[in-house]
Amino acid sequence: MSRDHRRLPSIVAVMALAALCRPSRADEPPGRPADPGQRLERTCFQTHARWDGKIQLRSDVAVCYGIDASLPERIAQWKAQGYVTHLMTGVSWGQYQDYLYGRFDGVRHVDQAQTERDGKVISHGGDVYYMSPGESYGRFLCQGVKRAMDAGAEAVHLEEPEFWVRGGYSEGFKREWKAHYGEDWIAPDSSPDAQYRASELKYFLYQRALKQVFDFVKSENARTGRHVKCYVPTHSLINYAHWKIVSPESSLIKVGADGFIAQVWTGTARTPNVYKGKTKERTFETAFFEYGAMMNVVQANGGTVWFLNDPIEDNPNHSWADYKTNWESTLTASLLWPQVWRYEVMPWPERIFHGRYPTVDRAVRKRGERVERVPIPAAYGTELMTVLSVLNDMDQRDVAWDCGTRGIGVVVSDTMMFERGQPNASDEHLGSFYGLALPLLKHGIPAEPVQLENATTKGALDRQKVLVMTYEGMKPMSPDVHDALADWVKAGGALVFLGDDSDPYNAVRAWWNDPRAARIYKSPRAHLFEKLGLSADSAPGSHQVGKGILLYAAAGPSSLTYRADGADVLLQLVKRACDSVGLAYTETNHLALRRGPYVVAAGLDESIGGPDAVLKGRFLDLFDAALPTVDVVTLKPGGRRLLLDLDKIPGAGPLVLASACKVLGAKAQAGVYSFHAEGPDGVDAVVCLRLAATPRSVKVDGQILPEAAHVWEASTRTLRVKFPNKSAGRRVEIDRD
């Protein structure tokens, strides 16, 4: 009997079928079929847990967290389940009491804990301290890494090299200052110069610690014939600057890292910023730039990058609805960078599938109201597994944009992290960056963060026709980047520069005002203008430079964020820049990107007026657990969409279009289409298939599913099948005769 419904029956009704779908031991499915794409390590997750069936995500890689004594057993368990296994451990903090209290080398190292001005030690909880790493600390980390390598880890992830701006007062840091600068320590908050130099040292200390481990792994590889890689899971430069943390972001590839995990999620991206004078969370926009900053580092220097997505966040007091909305925003933002097709699908799946979270968000609770905490809603669990499967298929080379002008970059530098402390901290809401970036994205222009430190790398600026930059809130680490920028402008680029030289960090001891240099400059801007062939006191306005142009405005970008017309000031400059280099300037109230058969789209709020963009076709809605077909999709302000365009999938089938489980070993034989389906216990699987004709029956583990558990949609020739996932896997058979 055929049906033409858009949605499946309720979850409650179908869950009653679970007993019918539960096979006896004799009916257990055969061994798991091979996944030919697994060695590409497309998707991963990190966990400290031992294997259990409720977190059987079937990603390519299980990243085992921590170098404690249980690590070999945990690696063995996940490996036995068919995962590629990696290690992840904290660099700046961890269960490293053996090091702190002298059990590692007979010397107490508590004085290497990061310490605030008042003597308070900066802790991640208890005596899990953030470290100011001495050379012995790197040797300690190598010991734990070796344990992981010996246990069979195929890669090492050294997570979050973080030094808090408010730190820098410990005895260990004072010793490092003396050794590095050849002078006695100066309190970081005593002057802009001291703060900048303290940040430079913090940056160096984590470069050194990581290089020690990278070098150790490479030497072990040479000794043993292994090929263990070294990655750094790290927040973005933008987030670290906003949160007042120093980390050696763009330099890590140069000191030996093989790549990154870009740790961007709701917890980082919901940090409020200011636009047109209004301070609020802008999760999608912030995430877009955070992911883009990490993509740019790898694109310029080479290496591998995974984009992290987190279905919840570290704060356990938001509602499931809040988590879902923000996860969809960060996920959409990550997919709008088509250069990247590897993903960490979640950290800590145990806290997602075993955890309990509020039913009502704290923002709308009444004072003193008792809040019920519940497990993950069934539909959200299914949606997560659907998207996880989709993320394995994002290496799509056919890419097409529907958005505003492309080819515009916003210059960023690691030194954004160096000006965040007292006595003259840069804008609290990082307006020196967001004042340049948000107006563009809000008007549909997918501007790319461009790492200044990479400017000298061949081809690093080739993607951009227009660059927007300032030296308010950041400074160039070396003068040679100005040669690269000047060459780019002279060859036909348009540089929009904002700033009034009032930043007190212009006076720090650095290359542009080094008294030993042949020439001293009042600010790094003056040196840049000289390289452009202009006077340091050139008037604001338009200046021809070779085949290109400089547009100079003596306005600080931070101040623009607090003005109602601040965005318009920036956009007018960018429009003039585009016109000058023949780049068509266009604004939209949406972003849409086609990646092969997938459509990623976002409607923008605080944007231009006009009608909402509309997508027409035949799409599967991948943000809906039931995988309904939709014909018209309106991109409303704040809306996020992930769609599969049915008309971009060739062939009559049979084939699986989308699934809330891992589908392996699919084959058509003797009128039966069959496959192995695997996923976490307790999460419903919905599988959408294309078939040439109405199926006669559907079996799961040899038992015929009731009619209520599968729906045939004749107009699209699609079948939706629903059944409870099983960590050991199920065999699904569709009789097409």
Task: State whether 69 and 169 are in the same domain.
Answer: yes
Given 345, 377, 394, the domain boundary residue is: 394
Give residue-wise pLDDT tens across range 708-719: 899 999 999 999
Phi, psi for residue 598 in degrees, rounded to 5: -95, 145
State how beta strands 343-347 and 273-275 pair. unpaired
CA atoms of 641 and 390, how far apart (whole Å): 14
Average pLDDT over residues 580-585: 97
| Neighbouring residues of 212: CB distance < 8 A, sequence distance ≥ 6 | 135, 138, 139, 141, 142
pTM over 0.85, yes/no: yes
Which strand (E) or helix (H) includes residue 721? Answer: strand 718-724
The answer as to whether 537 is a domain residue is: yes
The answer as to whether 602 is a domain residue is: yes
CA atoms of 521 and 568, how far apart (whole Å): 32
The amino acid at 722: K
Closest CA to 592 of 580, 583, 600: 600
CA atoms of 415 and 235, how far apart (whole Å): 15
Phi, psi for residue 655 in degrees, rounded to 5: -160, 155
CB 385 within 8 A of CB 661: yes
CB 512 within 8 A of CB 521: yes
Task: State whether 362 and 499 are in the same domain.
Answer: no
Given 366, 394, 422, the domain boundary residue is: 394
Give residue-wise pLDDT tens across range 542-557: 999 999 999 999 999 9
Give residue-wise pLDDT tens across range 364-392: 777 777 889 999 999 999 999 999 999 99
The answer as to whether 311 is a domain residue is: yes
Average pLDDT over residues 518-532: 95
Enter the tokens of residue 385.
Answer: 């597994």
Buried b vs exposed e over 355-375: b needs ≥16 C-beta within 10 Å? Answer: eebbebbeeeeeeeeeeeeee
Sign of torsion over alpha carbons 122, 126, 131, 132? positive
Which residue range(s) make up the domain with 534? 402-580
Average pLDDT over residues 353-367: 85
3-state secondary structure of 257: coil
The string of DSSP letters for 11-48 reads HHHHHTTHHHH---GGG---SPPP-TTGGG--EEEEES
pLDDT, residue 302, reads: 87
The string of DSSP letters for 110-168 reads GGGB-B-TTSPBPBSSTT-BPB---HHHHHHHHHHHHHHHHTT-SEEEEE---EETT--
CA distances 691 to 597, 736, 737, Å, are 18, 8, 11
Task: State whether 275 and 414 are in the same domain.
Answer: no
* Residue 551 neighbours by CB distance under 10 Å: 21
Enter the tokens of residue 330.
Answer: 């960060």
Give residue-wise pLDDT tens across range 20-37: 333 333 333 347 899 999
Task: State whether 224 and 86 are in the same domain.
Answer: yes
Task: State whether 364 and 493 are in the same domain.
Answer: no
Task: State whether 364 and 449 are in the same domain.
Answer: no
Confidence tier at 14 by pLDDT (50, 70, 90): very low
pLDDT, residue 22, reads: 37
Instruction: Output 56 or 360, whichever has higher pLDDT.
Output: 56
Give residue-wise pLDDT tens across range 337-346: 999 999 999 9
Closest CA to 363 of 281, 423, 443, 446: 281
Closest CA to 13 of 706, 717, 691: 706
Closest CA to 415 of 233, 251, 191, 187: 251
Task: State whether 547 and 451 are in the same domain.
Answer: yes
Give residue-wise pLDDT tens across range 209-252: 999 999 999 999 999 999 999 999 999 999 999 999 999 999 99
Structural domain count, the chain: 3
CATH number at residue 67: 3.20.20.70
Closest CA to 244 of 94, 430, 424: 430
pLDDT, residue 385, reads: 98
Enter the tokens of residue 737.
Answer: 């005769």
Given 337, 360, 394, the domain boundary residue is: 394
Closest CA to 267 of 297, 311, 298, 229: 311
Give residue-wise pLDDT tens across range 74-130: 999 999 999 999 999 999 999 999 999 999 999 999 999 999 999 999 999 999 999
Phi, psi for residue 167 in degrees, rounded to 5: -85, -175
* Residue 701 neighbours by CB distance under 10 Å: 20
Task: State whether 480 and 597 are in the same domain.
Answer: no
CA atoms of 602 and 230, how far apart (whole Å): 34
CA distances 297 to 99, 324, 387, 457, Å, are 33, 29, 26, 11
Helical pair 320-335 and 283-301, crossing angle rounded to 10 deg:
40
Whole-number mean pLDDT of the chain? 93
* Residue 692 neighbours by CB distance under 10 Å: 11
Give residue-wise pLDDT tens across range 668-701: 998 999 999 999 999 999 999 999 999 999 999 9
The answer as to whether 32 is a domain residue is: no
CA atoms of 108 and 136, how far apart (whole Å): 11
Residue 519 has pLDDT above 90, yes or no: no
Give residue-wise pLDDT tens across range 434-487: 999 999 999 999 999 999 999 999 999 999 999 999 999 999 999 999 999 999
Task: State whether 345 and 389 are in the same domain.
Answer: yes
State how beta strands 229-234 and 548-553 pair. unpaired
CB 291 within 8 A of CB 264: yes
CA distances 255 to 114, 144, 210, Å, are 23, 20, 8
CATH number at residue 425: 3.40.50
First to last CA, the chain: 13
Closest CA to 231 of 211, 258, 209: 258
Task: State whether 563 and 513 are in the same domain.
Answer: yes
CA atoms of 154 and 139, how far apart (whole Å): 20
The answer as to whether 271 is a domain residue is: yes
* DSSP designation for 715: T
The answer as to whether 144 is a domain residue is: yes
pLDDT, residue 370, reads: 82
pLDDT, residue 518, reads: 80
* DSSP designation for 633: E
Task: State whether 184 and 123 are in the same domain.
Answer: yes
Enter the tokens of residue 475.
Answer: 């400074």
pLDDT, residue 32, reads: 87
Closest CA to 173 of 146, 201, 196, 200: 201
Residue 187 has pLDDT above 90, yes or no: yes
State how beta strands 304-308 and 343-347 pair. parallel
CA atoms of 393 and 56, how far apart (whole Å): 19
CB 701 within 8 A of CB 23: yes
The answer as to whether 134 is a domain residue is: yes
CA distances 383 to 339, 623, 624, 625, Å, are 24, 6, 6, 5
CA atoms of 447 and 702, how far apart (whole Å): 53
Task: State whether 491 and 599 are in the same domain.
Answer: no
For the chain, the maximum distance between any two Cα atoms, rounded to a whole number of angstroms, is: 88
The answer as to whether 228 is a domain residue is: yes
Average pLDDT over residues 260-284: 98
pLDDT, residue 737, reads: 64
CA distances 623 to 191, 243, 354, 520, 626, Å, are 51, 31, 22, 57, 9
